[in-house]
Amino acid sequence: MKIEYLHTMVRVLDLEKSKAFYELLGLKERRRIENDKGRFTLVFMCPPEQDDGTADVELTWNWDGDSGLPSDSRHFGHLAYRVENIYEMCQHLMDNGVTINRPPRDGHMAFVRSPDNISIELLQMGEPLPIQEPWSSMENTGSW
């Protein structure tokens, strides 16, 4: 029996704010579906090098609101992305107001959260980078 990964869906409260967050990670909008009858918008985002639909994150925005977000736990564990330089990515996110919940103390892994409380794991491509400050002594903030 054949099975094929399609995408990951996360519900969002503010489509533009969430889209901007995923753009900070380096994702781009691949396609968009506006459903007037269902009163929702789907925005599929992906890394630029993976625009074939194999690595999509589907941002689902319900036009009439979604009062259970972000605390109703209908999100799954986390999204994970490999990044070229974890320190540069974390600095870029911090410079744009994103809290680094689990800093890359080991030069390999960090966690942040989206505006909708989705946990995002960032992993260094290849081998971990050499441990360096300020990351190595940075404490965790919140949960991930």
User: Of the listed 16, 23, 121, 133, which one is catalytic?
Assistant: 121
Give the separation between CA 130 and CA 127, rounded to whole angstroms.
9
Question: Which residues does residue 42 pair with via DSSP β-bridges, in sequence order?
Answer: 33, 60
- The residue count for the chain: 144
Q: How far apart are CA 18 and CA 50, in angstroms?
A: 20
Residue 121 a catalytic site member? yes
CB 32 within 8 A of CB 41: yes
Catalytic residues: 121
